[in-house]
Structures are given as C-alpha cells and as structure tokens.
Amino acid sequence: MTTQQKPYRGLFPVAPTVFHEDGSLDLEGQRRVMDCMIDQGVDGICILANYSEQFLVTDEERRVLTETCLEQVAGRVPVMVTCSHFSTDIAVSRAKHAAGHGAALLMLMPPYHGTGMRIGDTEIFEHFERVSEAGIPVMIQDAPLSSTAMPVPLLVEIARRLPLVRYFKIEVPGTAAKLRALIAEGGDAIEGPFDGEEGITLMADLDAGATGTMVSAMIPDLVKPVLEHHFAGRRSEALAAYARILPVINYENRQCGLRAAKAVMRAGGVIRSDRVRHPLTPLHPETRKGLLELAADLNPLALSWGK
C-alpha cells in the first residue's frame, strides 16, 4: 500500500540503474539510490526508464531490478515501472510482472522501431488496452525517442476509452502547448499530465497545467519547492526557486544526459561507481567538474547523503 492516493501528482524522478565498475548490476547501490530518493522528498519513483538505461539491461536484469527496487521501497512511495517494448506481448508480460510485485503505475512509449516502421492508431490503442489489463494505472510516454506519432486527439481518445490509461508524460518540442491542448480537449479524462526532460521546461509546463514532473534523481529535493509554490498559487516564488536551479538543469540536459545523476550520487557517496554501459561513454573529466561545481553551489541532498 503506497502512501500517496490517486490521482498521482507531484515529483516522480527517474532512478538511475547502478553498475559496478565491471559493468555488472550493483544491487546494494540500487537499494541505496531508492533510499536516497525517498529522503529527497519525492512523491514517487520511476524505474527502468530511458534515463535508467533500460535499453542496456537484459530481460533477467530487468526482472531483478524490478523486484529489488519494489522490495526496497516497500510501499513508502508509489513506484512506476517502465515497460516499453515494440512487442505488445512483451510489454504486457513486463506490466503484469511489475503489477504482481507491487508497482503502483506503469509507463511506456507507444510501439516504435526505427523511423521507417509506422504503427496505426488502432494498433496503438490495442497496445495500451492490453497493457492496461495488468490492472494498475498506465502513463503514456510521448518522447522524441519514439518515431510513432501521438497526436492530441489520439491521446484523448485513449484516455476516454481506457480508464486506466489517463496519465501522460509529455516531453516533445513545444511540450507546454501540447499539454495545454491535451488538458483542454481531454478535460477530466486527463488524470495526470506530467512533463519530463529533466525539468528543462518545467515552469512553462506548470503554467500550462502540468500536475507532475519526472526529472532525474540529481536534485529532486530542489525541484520540489518549485512544484509546491506553483501548486499553492505562489508563482513568483516558484519562478525564483526555478531560476536558482535552472543552470544545473540546463547543464544536465545539454552536457551530461543520464550520466549527471550518477555523477552527483557518486560524489555524494550514494553509489560507488557512476559507470554507464557501452556504447554510452563516461563523462569527460572537465564536464564532470563543471557539473559538480554547479551542484555544489546548490548543496542538493544527493551530494552529501552517503558521506
């Protein structure tokens, strides 16, 4: 039983997947990440997302990570498990496994495979319909990584016809405009409009009606005041809190990508290694130095949690 009741809203950062220096899973480190994120004051945690290097783990590792993370969190906050796959059968299998081990929500992109393979609206609907049979809420991730178009009318139709598929993570060019259109057209069927992309467009997206955000695990404790102020109608305070953290968010988004959270957590003693799996490459030492310099000025919890 999670501590937050539906509809889910607020801060749902993406947890990194932790590896030893030899590239094997570091499950002790993974458990520490879960505990650190809860101490960061998150409203929920997303695992096995793109920022978790989900495309670089085996099916067996995915199973182990799902069970390990859910066991460690033990209902303290809701856990969202990413189940994206081109195969509907595989996505359904992942969804049922996650739901069976205590996941609160599922997230997945529409089926995609390269730029030349197009999936029709009927098949997209059927994909999410079958995944929703796992019996827990589903979030559709609308991200540039997928070549499958997800126009607002299709998203609204899915939300109206599938009561469990009413959460949306929008992270496309013009996210605020798409969120605004989605909320206006979908009304009450849009239960959870979220944004992503490390929070690089967070203020515009909150102004457009976003009720949640999915940043990385780098500085969620510093992102949360932005949400709290905005939700309480204190927009000027939200803007000031956002302006304070925007330089490091920009650095993460433009220079580091998914490696940023790991670098900060390693510097803060949360994890022993910030290794990423090939073909991803480590941060250049100067890039790491610049990131940690910006982070140190803000003193996020992850930079001291393990010391």
**Which residues are tagged catalytic?**
169
Kindly state the tokens that stand for 47.
């695992």
d(CA 38, CA 124): 34
> Residue 274: is it exposed, middle or buried by C-beta count within 10 angstroms (0-12/13-18/19+)?
buried
Eight-class DSSP state of 25: B
- Residues at the binding site for pyruvate are 214
Kindly state the tokens that stand for 34.
């879960």
Q: 277: Cβ–Cβ under 8 A, 6 or more apart, which residues?
A: 19, 23, 53, 56
| 128 SS3 class | helix
Helices 235-251 and 220-231: angle between axes, nearest 10 degrees: 150
The string of DSSP letters for 62-123 reads: HHHHHHHHHHHHTTSS-EEEE---SSHHHHHHHHHHHHHTT-SEEEEPPP--TTT----HHH
